[in-house]
Amino acid sequence: MPVRMELSRILIRELNDYQIIELREMSEDSAPPGNGEARSFPIVIGLPEAQAIERRLKGVTIKRPQTHDLLQNVIRELDGELESISITDLNEHTFFATLDVRKGGELLHIDARPSDAIALGIAGDVPIYVAEHVLDSALSEDGPEL
């Protein structure tokens, strides 16, 4: 069963080749294991995606649509609605995700990088779900220092 997560922080270091976002388990969906602390894990992303997430979190508007704005507009114009973001797999330190788009009565699962999916969904408060096996794997792997 997927676990509901939230973006808990974003670390932008413009002098580094990578940036970090951290997802944390939302306590309302399931009781955290063991010591009562919510589970969390980092995802390494690129600077443009980190900046897009930060811009959308802060509600900063710009004159022309950026890539994530464009995709949001396309989904809307095609009568779709971004229902959720699902992080579905972790393979060789790479996370895989889908945009879960409702169009009519059908739920489409569109392959996406987690950073792009989160950048797209964050402004609309779209829920983020992580497969339990992905969460287990992410917690057992050596990730970047936060």
The confidence band for 146, taking pLDDT boundaries of 50, 70 and 90, is very low
What is the three-class DSSP state of 34?
coil
Summarised one tens digit per residue, pLDDT across range 36-74 is 678 999 999 998 899 999 998 898 988 998 888 899 999
Q: Do 46 and 115 meet the contact criterion of CB atoms below 8 Å apart? A: yes
94-103 β-sheet, strand order: 40-45, 19-25, 3-11, 128-130, 80-91, 94-103, 106-112
Question: In the chain, what are the domain boundaries?
Answer: 3-140
pLDDT at residue 28 greater than cutoff 80? no
Name the pLDDT band for 34 (thresholds 50, 70, 90).
Answer: low
For residue 98, the model assigns a pLDDT of 98
Name the CATH superfamily, with its identifier, for domain 3-140.
Bifunctional nuclease domain (3.10.690.10)
pLDDT of residue 145: 47
Q: Is the pLDDT of residue 30 over 50?
A: no
